[in-house]
Structure 1
Amino acid sequence: MPRQRKTTRPSQRELPFSELKGEIPDAGFDEGFSLLYSEINNFIKNGIGKKAVSTRKSLWTKRHSKEFLSFAGMVARPGADGGWEKLLRSRPYRCALLSGVVMKVLDKHVFSDLLFGAGPEHAEVLRIEDSSMVNVEGMSARWCCLMSFIDRLTNDFTGFKRTDLRAKTNRVYLEATGGIPPLFWKRVDKITAQIVAMLLPLYSAIGEEAPSQSSYQALHNIVALAGWLNVAIRLSPKITVFEWVQPGEAYQFSFLCIGEEKKMASDGHSEAPNDQTRKRTRVMISAVPKITRYAHGSNGFSAGTETYDVMQPHVVTYRGIYADWEDNRVVPLQSHARNGFVVFLGRIMSLLMSVMRLAMVLFVAGIFGLMVFGAWISITGGNGDGSSLPWIVQMVLWPIQLTFQSLMLSVRMVLRSSHVRTDYSLATTNSWLLNR
């Protein structure tokens, strides 16, 4: 395992917890998430995305954790050429991909919490409370199944009641804890360390053992800001929804394109004059989800729902095939990442087969040599002068020597071409879902 640089404990970011005593406006969430994405982007660009890759080996076949491969497969897919390698070797693609991975980690392990940093007792109270309100929603849906529009309004109303009850419960809890969840900074430290462990194979690819002290502090600040935004969300009666654009999905003008493929026809697709295949602009990397806040209407039960778009989805696009079923023919990331092991295993099997074939040749040559030597002994009656014995022995042993030399040469060539990765080993971390 590579030695990590000795770093001091990161300092705790100053966060405006006192402002959470009141209601944060929607524009405040807009500014908060914009700042979060900007800091994530700078963390990647100034660190792991700054240098070119220092190895010719596939970056996907390094010892990545299952979490990393899972998140990367959720936010990215190669273009029409099906090349996964460029997504990590190209620095612009690498920055967008890793920004999406970090944002996905925060979505799954920070923003999904009912209150980030809450103690186990309060977390259990929130879980039970949330489950009971979900059951109420299910009952409301069954009672109102005869009229679809009333069903929608009732579900919306019950959903807002659930978030309102959660917000009141969390406010009472935070009043007893001084306004900060008791395990807030412990969770920030843990998630920061887990993200770094997830990115270590890529740091090795650019010639570094671990992120610098300033880079680690920047990531710690990012996780802390995400945790503060989670607390702000969970203290609000409004509903905040994260919607990720799926890789391969057709581009829409509501997406914010951050890549080079920004030119397209007005309908999102075009047909090249010398190409009979219709093309469509599609999503290659989903770096940021669409974030929307929903509020219940202020004029009563039938007032409907008010929406506020906090952030547009940020995507990198490519020129894909018009038909969805034809464009989706891409090797899955998990299969691509396993190809390195499959190739190595194939080389080992090829080596074993070569050894077996050469062993058989050696055996046959030995038997033939013994037969010739026995025939010579029977012809001479064992009474020869012995002058020709060394020459006869050399002739008998010559096929065996040639076979053995060919065997050693084949072994050296196979071992030379086999890329056995022994430069480092990364300790496997436990699943985050089990450690939460």
Structure 2
Amino acid sequence: MSVIRRLQSDTASFSTDLRQLLAFEATQDASIENACRDILHQIRQRGDAALIEYTHRFDGVQVQHAADLEIGHDELQHALDTLPADQRAALEAAAQRIRQYHEHQRGKSWTYTEDDGTTLGQQVTPLDRVGLYVPGGKAAYPSSVLMNALPAKVAGVRELIMVTPTPKGERNQLVLAAAALSGVDKVYSIGGAQAVGALAYGTETIQPVDKIVGPGNAYVAEAKRRVFGTVGIDMIAGPSEILIIADGSAPAEWVAMDLFSQAEHDELAQSILLSPNADYLDAVENAIVELLPTMPRADIIRKSLADRGALILVKDLPEACEVANFIAPEHLEISTVNPETWLEHIRHAGAIFLGHYSSESLGDYCAGPNHVLPTSRTARFSSPLGVYDFQKRSSIIQVSQSGAQTLGPIAATLAKGEGLYAHAASAEYRLQNS
């Protein structure tokens, strides 16, 4: 049995085969839906008391008061100060690059004035309060802290509240250090749907936020889905994805390892290679077979590649770009000679990595652009997380007396056409000859 399926774009069934490969049914388990509904209801009704109960039940952490769940600034700073030197240096270097990149995204207010003195424009302001969910316990995702917190801080968010579960009281020092380095304002040792509910609705101890960002398990995703509308959310992310367009000029082992880099996330992750070179696809498959036994997460990679991976033979690189646009991947590597040649052909991708040395893993940690990206073909209509997700825009309208004489009749005519006569009168009252 092949370790990864092979497809060809010139077969009659290719379109159907590709759609089946990409299909991901994100059907929620009814038990998860019911549990999240009940948890959110209890948090909304009973606040701190429910939060304390759920934290004890799910994380094994017992406190008398919800305020005892806060992790103080001294502990955050201590975590940063006591990191091994190499980890601290890497964390600081990544933070500096991420912050620098996102500073270029900061939106600006603007106005313009028309000849009659009417001024129109846009005022950009940051969100007041944002909640950041970070997985905790044995899982260490300091990169998630940096990628979510730093854009919020660059945007000017007034208060950033981080929640992270601490099963049996286990606090991940890398996560806490990243919070200190990112300037997170408050950190609470809570997780799951109950943490999402506390951020969305508020409790006696935790103030409600305006938006919740950050990854989590199925319960966290369902809870975010349910509170959307009360607060904003970043996205409901699906399994991680990588798509590579290769002309055969990169070592096959490099491309195989890049496919592994997504496949090792979990069995549902998707890794796809497009190439017009059949011999190169053979070489990559051979590299996969040779390298797979050396991987610590070989079982996960093997199942991911077998179930959702593919090596696809295409006619040429232009066709590879068209297939890539249909797939609209989370991560797209263009591993070709002169990769920038093909950039203008790409319309849909979360992040685009150009050239043999631009491995997706660099984007995950330290290149600078955000690693929170649209999945499951949503790159067709959505974008990476950025500073703009933590800012909002208000329209500015200052109509001069002269401008009201021009705009009033237009507005009144359209309002009467809609049957809204108070609207029409409101505009006509300001006409000089009325």
Same topology, TM > 0.5: no
- More strand per residue: 1 or 2? 2
Larger radius of gyration: 1
Question: Per residue, is there more helix in 1 or in 2?
Answer: 1
The two structures have a TM-score, normalised by structure 1, of: 0.19
Structure-2-length-normalised TM-score: 0.19
